[in-house]
Chains A and B, each alone.
Chain A
């Protein structure tokens, strides 16, 4: 069992002063094995803070990131899952309808699924919209952890702070979403079992 924290679009300090205290108290060092951050941190202080939660940190670049050396996309393997990360400002992310926690058919998504095909990954983590979404389709999962600070977005109104924890166990992943709604943390989950090998020809 491996715990992976996925978060992004913190936009500190341009749009939010800090993570919500309730989130901060949940994110304690030593419990999480990997962090996936989709980008827009935006400053080094936040990078350093994430490092304190877990040193294994994978970041892709958002368009407001001070650090320009973050890659545009990144892939990594955890358990039997191949994960891909990309912020998404380069992809026309608003193209897909906003459903939450939905099991949809492979193909209802556009460029993100294309990206998923391109990176050849089971789980694609993206950001940019500040709207938490998780899609499960026949070939994998697409997750957008939303904005961990609930930062203003020109794409989405009424942003609630949210992040995602993935519990990966060999071929099974349970995705927990933590969302701060009116000061209360709400948790939701979906799970996904891998059936086909992505790299098989």
Chain B
């Protein structure tokens, strides 16, 4: 039966429309022939179709609209009738002869409209009569539509201020009274629907009711349109009366809809001034009413209102933030709407939200957080200068969340993220968030994944705004906040972590470390120590990401101190390069346990060079020792060894701090390592590079020509061995490139004035290479050919250049 209900309804609607059209046809004929009697008869019959109880609100509306159109024509006719001399009072009486009450009341409203227009009676009397008479219909749908009709026809005839119907006897009060009464009656009818009919159709009925809600809400809209409803009248009459109806009806659907309706239709400044009244109604609503949405909408409206009128003051907000960073925010007054302050909007909202959350014990966490989130948005817009308010809200949120542990409700989580993101977006400045003591406490309730996401958002905010975090206290607070990225929490030890995500995450931490800076070396050192404390808890997977940025931050500080050293000479300075190097040594040590020896080795060398620049020989020597130990004990990959040895040679070559003894030890070791590399060509290249350790251009003391030559000769021997080996294993002499490289080294030291490098040795080498390149068993190697040709071209060029260099090259025969 229910299944074909829709079809039946269509049938009933069709028959209703047919009946309506038929009678309308006769009514038109009567109107055309000015036959009042027939017009009334057929119009009443036409309106009888609206007496049906079989249609759903949706279908009924269709029928009603058709009737409505016809009634407009009838109204025109009535107007003409009165012009033709028919008394409006007679007409008003006449229509009441209609047999059925519903058609009668529709006709009465129609004539009533003309009656008011004629001004033969005060508008308020007619309106009062009509609104009373309509009580005759108690069937909800029929009654609602009838009253809706009344509301529609009377809209432009209310005795509003400035309206033509305003008079001595008619005041705006009457207009308000009329609309309020109609509203009250309609709401009663609407609520009654809920209680009628069988329980099993309740759901369908509620749906139908919801379709009808705008008919009721329309009255509130009419109220808001009445010019005469000023703030006083709104506060004294309109709002209390409407709220009384809302609260007393005890109907969930009605309360939710009407509260929302009030918020949407009346102006913002009214809400602001009557906040208390409106809010006081909230706890009185049914517990099932979705009050958080209502309140959220209210706060949203108010914050938009504030935002639209504070746009001008944004510049001032900015300057306030600037000044607050310097800690002098007393002298600043942000120009927010004075109204908001005057009515203590925040205090009221905060108070009532607390009450609502307390009253609605069953409210899900997500709901409560949504409320706090809206209140926060409101506060950020209205009181951007009141960080204490923001913290207060977060504190309330913490209280609500306390004992709940980590949330697993995704909606609540989402709300918390938006709650925490709001201050970041507003202030574009993480320092503000760091001042909020409750901020990390709210964050604690996020699950690990979301906590990390939030930490990421915080870092991004810092990067985007290029915020520099400048004190160790702030750094401490910040690292507390992003602790999810800094160390493993107990639970996620077994979690599968995507490698790429992890890298991205740790790289963002690494970037963040770059943003920590203070001009004062002492504070900077404190910052470094704070960061160190936190990152050392990160475990072996994180350290390779977090130690390098910290090391370079510290080295930057060392370099700064280096520049200042002379200024502060003689004074007792707490922050010295020496102290920083101690910290660095301990920090890099943490890497060697992971182990990432190659990275640690590089960092030791960087430190050694920095110590060199500070003239700290023992420190530099210590760093070198550490690097050597790692090289000997940990770096086992042959390719890694090659890179490491070249880095060692390069760094050692630049060191000027070492005395003869230390330098000898280190140089000797490096040469030894070079000769022990696995592949012969690698050996050869490392050994000839070592020649540079004995000859430093800008140092007079390090010019040991003999040992340079020894290195080069040794390199030649290795090259020879490499060639023979290639010959034996592959049947070819392999590349002669090594010899050409050594030739270039000979030329270099020759030019630099190393007297051990003789012309004949160079000539011998050139001859050797030439023979090699021309021999039959050499596979053709264009790269070696080009290299050699280029080298010879260079010699020719130097010979022809003349001057001292030309002279030097003169005896060389090619």
Minimal beta-carbon separation of B733 from chain A (angstroms): 19
Given contacts A90-B646, A94-B653, A114-B741, contact A16 B787 (CB under 8 A): no
Q: Return the contact of A154 from the options B609, B793, B798 (Cβ within 8 A).
A: B609
Given contacts A17-B511, A18-B463, A44-B503, contact A107 B751 (CB under 8 A): yes
Minimal beta-carbon separation of B692 from chain A (angstroms): 5
Bound CA–CA A139/B613 (angstroms): 35
Specify which chain B residues have a CB less than 8 angstroms from the CB of A11 in the assembled complex. 552
Minimal beta-carbon separation of A103 from chain B (angstroms): 15
Minimal beta-carbon separation of B810 from chain A (angstroms): 15
B548 at the interface (CB under 8 A from A): yes
Minimal beta-carbon separation of B562 from chain A (angstroms): 8
Q: At the interface, is chain A mostly helix, strand, loop or mixed?
A: loop
Given contacts A107-B751, A138-B797, contact A43 B650 (CB under 8 A): no
Specify which chain B residues have a CB less than 8 angstroms from the CB of A63 in the assembled complex. 602, 643, 647
Bound CA–CA A105/B512 (angstroms): 45
Bound CA–CA A11/B551 (angstroms): 13
Q: Return the contact of A152 from the options B515, B552, B741 (Cβ within 8 A).
A: B552
B556 at the interface (CB under 8 A from A): yes
Specify which chain B residues have a CB less than 8 angstroms from the CB of A17 in the assembled complex. 463, 511-512, 514-515
A150-201, CB < 8 A from B: 151-152, 154-155, 157, 198-201
Minimal beta-carbon separation of B438 from chain A (angstroms): 29
Q: At the interface, is chain B mostly helix, strand, loop or mixed?
A: helix
A105-119, CB < 8 A from B: 105-107, 110-111, 114, 117-118
Specify which chain B residues have a CB less than 8 angstroms from the CB of A201 in the assembled complex. 785, 789
Q: Are A92 and B794 in contact (CB under 8 A)?
A: no
Specify which chain A residues have a CB less than 8 angstroms from the CB of B790 in the assembled complex. 117, 120, 139, 198
Specify which chain A residues have a CB less than 8 angstroms from the CB of B613 in the assembled complex. 154
Total A-B pairs, Cβ < 8 A = 110
Q: Are B559 and A114 in contact (CB under 8 A)?
A: no
Specify which chain A residues have a CB less than 8 angstroms from the CB of B512 in the assembled complex. 17
Q: Return the contact of B786 from the options A16, A44, A120, A155 (Cβ within 8 A).
A: A120
Specify which chain B residues have a CB less than 8 angstroms from the CB of A154 in the assembled complex. 555, 605-606, 609-610, 613, 651
B332 at the interface (CB under 8 A from A): no
Bound CA–CA A63/B548 (angstroms): 13
Bound CA–CA A118/B797 (angstroms): 17
Interface 0/1 of B788-804, CB less than 8 Å to A: 01110110011001000
Q: Are A117 and B791 in contact (CB under 8 A)?
A: yes
A99 at the interface (CB under 8 A from B): no
Interface 0/1 of B743-787, CB less than 8 Å to A: 011001001000000000000000000000000000000010111
Q: Are A117 and B643 in contact (CB under 8 A)?
A: no
B504 at the interface (CB under 8 A from A): yes
Q: Are A95 and B552 in contact (CB under 8 A)?
A: no
Q: Are A16 and B514 in contact (CB under 8 A)?
A: yes
Q: Are B504 and A45 in contact (CB under 8 A)?
A: yes
Minimal beta-carbon separation of A102 from chain B (angstroms): 17
Minimal beta-carbon separation of A17 from chain B (angstroms): 4
A6-62, CB < 8 A from B: 11-18, 21, 43-45
Q: Are B787 and A117 in contact (CB under 8 A)?
A: yes
A89 at the interface (CB under 8 A from B): yes
Minimal beta-carbon separation of B766 from chain A (angstroms): 14
B507 at the interface (CB under 8 A from A): yes
A70 at the interface (CB under 8 A from B): no
Interface 0/1 of B676-716, CB less than 8 Å to A: 00000000000001001000010000000000000000000
Minimal beta-carbon separation of B740 from chain A (angstroms): 8
Which residue of the partner chain B has the closest CB to A61?
B643
A93 at the interface (CB under 8 A from B): yes
B97 at the interface (CB under 8 A from A): no
Which residue of the partner chain B has the closest CB to A110?
B748
Q: Are B514 and A94 in contact (CB under 8 A)?
A: no
Q: Are A14 and B510 in contact (CB under 8 A)?
A: yes
Which residue of the partner chain B has the closest CB to A138?
B797
Q: Which 9 A-B pairs have the closest CB atoms?
A: A154-B609, A13-B510, A120-B786, A14-B548, A17-B514, A13-B511, A117-B790, A114-B744, A17-B511
Interface residues of A (CB under 8 A from B): 11-18, 21, 43-45, 63-64, 89-95, 105-107, 110-111, 114, 117-118, 120, 138-139, 151-152, 154-155, 157, 198-201
11 residue pairs of the A-B complex, CB under 8 angstroms, read A14-B548, A15-B548, A63-B643, A89-B646, A90-B650, A95-B653, A107-B797, A117-B744, A117-B790, A117-B791, A151-B552
Further contacts, 16 of them, CB under 8 A, given A14-B552, A118-B787: A11-B552, A13-B507, A13-B514, A14-B510, A16-B514, A43-B507, A63-B602, A89-B647, A95-B653, A95-B692, A106-B794, A107-B805, A110-B748, A117-B787, A152-B555, A154-B651
